């Protein structure tokens, strides 16, 4: 085949220019063009393979990321629901204790001022926790701190109620002995 090609080139060049060409120069040109085509084909195949690899890797990463987002959303929804239930539970208990305190009778605000200051401090701290919850999201430590805050408030109200009841018992015994 090479001989046929060489003869063809020789006849074509002689017929056009009337002179003979150097075979080696012609073959070097042909081989260089063939090498360039091979290199281009290889570069195209390599770029296609790299593009496919990038697409597959990106798709896998996106899938994993979407699954993590779904799990995170489910977790936040679950925690949000549990937090709402817990918050409602404590709010109900705290409201009951406050009703019991109101029903116990007149409370000297000056005498129980440390209790009320601590209650106000706990309320402010709880509001700060709720604000932080909105900014940083559901963190286990933050939720535990919120629940602990509500426990402290409930304990404080229980102590206040016990003190009021002690005072009322003392006043009742005092009245009984005076009559």
Higher pLDDT among residues 143 and 30, named by residue:
143
Is residue 71's pLDDT more than 70?
Answer: no
Least confident span in 14-18, 110-114, 160-164: 14-18
| Of 80, 96, 94, 97, nearest in space to 143 by CA | 80
Render pLDDT for 91-104 as a digit per residue (tens, 0 to 9): 888 888 888 877 87
Q: Which residues contact 86 (CB under 8 A, 6 or more apart)?
A: 147, 150
Largest CA distance in the chain: 150
- Please say whether the beta carbons of 146 and 84 come within 8 A: no
Residue 115: what pLDDT?
82
Q: What is the pLDDT confidence band of residue 160, given thresholds at 50, 70 and 90? A: confident
CB-based contact 169:156 (threshold 8 Å): no
Mean pLDDT in the chain? 76
E strands in 89-168? none
- Please state whether the predicted TM-score (pTM) of the whole model is above 0.85: no
Per-residue confidence (pLDDT) for residue 23, from 0 to 100: 67
Could you tell me what percent of the chain has a pLDDT over 70?
A: 78
| CA distances (Å), origin 44, targets 30, 48, 55, 135, 149 | 21, 6, 16, 49, 65
């Amino acid at each position: 085949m090479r001989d046929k090609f060489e003869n063809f080139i020789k006849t074509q060049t002689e017929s056009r220019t009337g002179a003979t060409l150097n075979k080696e120069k012609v073959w070097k040109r042909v081989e260089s063009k063939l090498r360039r085509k091979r290199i281009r084909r290889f570069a195209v195949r390599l770029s296609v393979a790299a593009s496919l690899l990038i697409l597959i890797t990106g798709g896998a990463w996106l899938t994993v990321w979407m699954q993590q987002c779904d799990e995170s959303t489910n977790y936040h929804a679950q925690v949000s629901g549990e937090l709402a239930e817990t918050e409602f539970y404590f709010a109900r208990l705290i409201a009951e204790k406050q009703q019991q305190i109101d029903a116990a009778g007149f409370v000297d605000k000056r005498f129980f001022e440390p209790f009320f200051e601590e209650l106000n401090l706990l309320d402010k701290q709880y509001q700060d926790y709720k604000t932080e919850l909105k900014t940083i999201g559901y963190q286990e430590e933050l939720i535990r701190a919120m629940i602990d805050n509500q426990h402290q408030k409930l304990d404080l109200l229980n102590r206040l109620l016990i003190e009021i009841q002690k005072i009322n018992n003392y006043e009742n015994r005092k009245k009984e002995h005076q009559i």
